[in-house]
A and B are shown apart, each in its own frame.
Chain A
Amino acid sequence: MKTLNNKILKIVFPTALLLVTMISCERELSEDIEPATFPNTAEIFTDAPVGLTDQFFRSFDPAAGANTDGFGVDNITVYEGSASIRIDVPASNDPNGGFIGGVFEDRGDGRNLTGYDALTFWAKGTTSGTVLVGFGTDFDKLETEPSYATNASIQMTTGWKKYTIPIPDTSKLVQEKGMFLFSAGGFDPLGDGPNGNEVAWTFWIDELRFENLGTSRLINPFILAGQDVVDNQFSGATLQIDALGANFNLADGQNLSVLTDSGYFDFESSDTTVATVTSSGFVNVISPGTTTITGSIGNQQAIGSLTINASGPFVNATDPTLPQTDVISIYSDFYTGVTGLNPGVFAGPNTTSISIQSSAGNDHLRFESIDFVGIGWDGTVNATGETMVHIDVQLTSASGSNLVMELLDFGLDDIDNGFGDGSAGGFNLSSQLIQNQWVGIDIPLNGFTLGTGGGGSGNPNLGNIGNIILVSSNGASFLVDNIYFY
């Protein structure tokens, strides 16, 4: 009973206990109190799993394409001792799953890895395939708990080679269950990108453990992939700081970039009256002004930052007033419209981003620096009974940005297969746009007289409209809401 009480006390008041320990050095500790640390076992796999769960390997979700067939232990090809881990990576067209990967988890409550500075292992492959490897991923970890997932891409060689994945902050891993993660896809001998022709290959891992090397140097942590990003936002917006990681220089002089979760980082907002940032990198924009969000690991400042220029609360476009029965809606929170709306069925190569944003429960589309984008939906709509189309646009790039709206009619076959039966025409919105202000534009359907970038000659048919295309010759950025025919 006494032991139990002390253990509860230990869990609830670890700081208080530490204090007692420090100010009472002359007194012996009660034998009932044990140090509140977890095992510091270094080994993960030497000739057998060390302290891992009975299932040893926990695969990624087969429903997402993970192949569970290729994981095993090899007693012939070993770096040291009697066994290694053998992973047969499937071809990308393998019916049982086109990639292999998963995690090894500690069978207890987790390990204290603070005495180590790197995950290390020996490995070789049948070819120079690439594998994502790391630690800190535990499938059962709650999203509310800090995550220390750390992963890096390594390239195999056909001879045994030792690999080092440094721990970004050795003080953080006081109770970690995610011992190892790997993920690999088929080898691409043609180097022509992921296109389904990747072939099967095999790699082996041996002597997998944590070590205290002392030979890795943290060059710099990074947030937002090391970029200094400037973003215009409204009060009330929320953002996630991502693309986190750290660049290391290893003992052999080579650099290694690891990607990490937010657990290692401290974040700071230069003006917390404008925006605050949580320990997991979640930003709340509060009021107008400018603030810069930065990050650090330990006392080392991360490269990359997010400067937020915040304006007042976002104002949504004016609500439409026509009754549902009078409109064919493409995109609006106020009407039932087409299904399967996709704001970027296709986009030009210089388009920066396409997203759906929400303010006070009202969605709108956000387009950043487009050349052209196609808004699509399931099937086509017949607007032959209508005379007008409405669109709300808020220009967010500079005044003078050019924007043309095009209607693309797929023709009687309902398929986008060129201008045999298809037709398209454009209408120039530019002169009506006002920077940072919603403008409702109502266009007669016989006004789409311009030729289109895709080859349409103007005055499209209206019976099988399949795309609304937005085109800018100078990289316009803008918001869109409430597109409907009436």
Chain B
Amino acid sequence: MKKIIKNNILALAIISSFVLVSCDNDETQTVAELTNLVMADEFDIDGAPDSSIWTYDLGDGTQQGLPSGWGNNELQVYTDNSENVEVQNGLLVITAREASSGGFTSARIKTQGLFEQQYGRFEARIKLPQGKGLWPAFWLLGSDCDTNPWPACGEIDIMEYLGDNPTSIFGTVHGPGYSGGESISKEYVLTDNRFDTDFHIFGIEWSPNQINYYVDDVLYQTITPEMVSDETDGEGTWVFNNQPFYIILNIAVGGNLPGSPDANTVFPQRMLVDYVRVYN
């Protein structure tokens, strides 16, 4: 009896390692190869986010020269208050709140000017909020967007999520000829889990002429210059070989994409980030 059990365990171990090995060998399932860690925030120190890595986008977008609502008719005002963004118990907590005055507050933090990198593996482990109107994201913007206006500077959305679709996220690139509603995007759906009840890993591995998107251990999308060309009838330009990008984490509320919160949306809602890691 005992022997049989041991054999079973051994068999399981063999199968697992076989799966792992076979993953690496499978040409279509190269999830991530880069392992040289160059930046990590594990969010282990309580308080405000580490100011050597993170800074803030504040307000409603008008200070950045955008129409109120960050160009998307979003409803939130971003703050750097601890009730909207704080490191707590090993997690970065971004909280979207309904203000007593009727609007919404939230937070958007970024590594602009503090950590910018061209190419590499950008990864975060995140648990997402729930409810219509919530629009959290983990994304990258080109470092020259101030002088080379979006979409020419490029945008890589590693993870976007709508709170009324709790089993689905999407990964997207925006560039000249393929931005906003015309961006190049793919949805990834969990069939046996949700993004708001457990942590999941969202990442890209970005190399010259290629961006691979993965969730947990699944590679679900590869975007290349050929794909941009095909999707845009040759009009779109690949802008991801030119410059470093910086990281953004935020929760937007309302706006063109998610629509407004409804009666079932409960506030506050939180995005919990266990870590952000960058490899090359």
Contact = CB atoms under 8 A, between A and B. Distances in A.
B278 to A, nearest CB: 30
Contacts of A214: 190, 192-194
B166 A217 contact: yes
Contacts of A251: 166-167, 194
B1 interface: yes
Interface residues of A, number: 14
B264 A255 contact: yes
B183 interface: no
Q: By DSSP majority rule, is chain B's interface helix, strand, loop, or mixed?
A: loop
Contacts of B191: 215
A434 to B, nearest CB: 43
Contacts of A29: 1
A26 B191 CA distance: 39
Interface of A: 26, 28-29, 212-215, 217, 219, 249, 251-253, 255
Q: By DSSP majority rule, is chain A's interface helix, strand, loop, or mixed?
A: loop
B132 interface: yes
Interface string B189-202: 01111101100000
B132 A217 contact: no
A253 B2 contact: no
Interface string B30-55: 00000000000000000000000000
A214 B167 CA distance: 10
Interface in B162-190: 163-167, 190
Contact of A28 (B1, B192, B196, B266): B1
A29, A219, A251 pick with most chain B CB within 10 angstroms: A251
User: Which interface class (under 10, 10 to 19, 20 to 34, 35 or more) fits B?
Assistant: 10 to 19
Given A217-B197, A249-B130, A252-B165, 17 more contacts: A214-B192, A214-B193, A214-B194, A215-B167, A215-B191, A215-B192, A215-B193, A217-B130, A217-B196, A219-B130, A219-B266, A251-B166, A251-B167, A251-B194, A253-B163, A253-B164, A253-B166
Nearest to B165: A253
24 contacts: A26-B2, A28-B2, A29-B1, A212-B192, A214-B190, A214-B194, A215-B166, A215-B167, A215-B192, A215-B193, A215-B194, A217-B130, A217-B166, A217-B197, A249-B166, A251-B166, A251-B167, A251-B194, A252-B165, A253-B132, A253-B163, A253-B164, A253-B165, A255-B264
Contacts of B165: 252-253
Interface of B: 1-2, 130, 132, 163-167, 190-194, 196-197, 264, 266
A255 B166 CA distance: 12
A402 B186 CA distance: 68
Contacts of B164: 253
B194 A217 contact: yes
Contacts of B196: 217, 249
3 residue pairs, one from A and one from B, having the closest CB atoms: A253-B164, A214-B192, A28-B1
A28 B5 CA distance: 11
Nearest to A251: B167
B116 to A, nearest CB: 36
A249 to B, nearest CB: 6
A215 B264 contact: no
A297 to B, nearest CB: 15
Contacts of A212: 192
A249 B190 CA distance: 15
A75 B194 CA distance: 36
Contacts of B197: 217
